[in-house]
């Protein structure tokens, strides 16, 4: 059975984004010869979970959303239905969501972010593994 894994990058001073949510500081580390283990990690992922802010940011990025993978967006905002069948808006119990996803895939579940959702997963002891890439930049 797959694990729930937080795979994330942070600055030397512990930030995953600038105060305005900007993650462009990561751009120069993408697409190069070294992928920091991302390809190996990703081939074993069967579903992803992210917060609403992370989802909205991912929509603006090239390749930010994998249209072939089930993605669960955790939100309490009132929104319109998303037309993409692979995207599910969810506002319920997180352990129940994990169990539901594990019934559908034996692969790993990637907790993409953001910060508040990661805190919730840590508080509820829902993470099996954390893969943290520290990027040599100070954001604070």
pLDDT, one tens digit per residue, over 109-129 is 999 988 899 999 999 999 999
Nearest C-alpha neighbor of 6 from the set 101, 116, 133, 113 = 113
Q: Which residues contact 75 (CB under 8 A, 6 or more apart)?
A: 51, 52, 55, 89, 90, 91
- The fold of 4-16+36-135 is Dihydrofolate Reductase, subunit A (3.40.430)
Q: Is 48 helix (H, G, I), strand (E, B) or coil?
A: strand
Q: Which two tokens stand for residue 48?
A: 């992803």
Distance of CA 133 to the CA centre of its chain: 14
Cα distance between residue 139 and residue 127, in whole Å? 26
pLDDT band for position 81 (cuts 50, 70, 90): low
Neighbours of 130 (CB within 10 A): 13
Mean pLDDT of the residues in the chain: 87
Residues 88/72, Cβ–Cβ less than 8 Å: yes
pTM, rounded to two decimals: 0.87
Q: Considering only residues 109 and 136, tell me which one the structure prediction assigns the higher pLDDT.
A: 109
pLDDT in tens, 53-78: 888 888 887 777 888 899 999 998 77
Residues 110/5, Cβ–Cβ less than 8 Å: yes
pLDDT in tens, 15-38: 988 888 888 888 777 766 767 778
Task: Give the domain ranges of the chain.
Answer: 4-16+36-135
């Amino acid at each position: 059975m797959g694990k729930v894994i937080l795979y994330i990058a942070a600055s030397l001073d512990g930030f995953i984004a600038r105060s305005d949510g900007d993650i462009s500081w990561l751009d120069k580390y993408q697409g190069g010869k070294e992928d920091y283990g991302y390809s190996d990690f990703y081939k074993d992922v069967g579903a992803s979970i992210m917060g609403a802010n992370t989802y909205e940011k991912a929509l603006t990025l090239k390749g930010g959303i994998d249209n072939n993978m089930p993605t669960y967006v955790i939100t309490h905002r009132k929104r319109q239905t998303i037309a993409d069948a692979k995207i599910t808006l969810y506002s319920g119990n997180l352990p129940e969501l994990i169990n539901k996803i594990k019934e559908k895939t034996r692969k790993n579940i990637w907790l993409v972010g953001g910060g508040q959702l990661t805190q919730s997963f840590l508080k509820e002891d829902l993470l099996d593994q954390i893969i943290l890439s520290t990027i040599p930049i100070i954001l604070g």
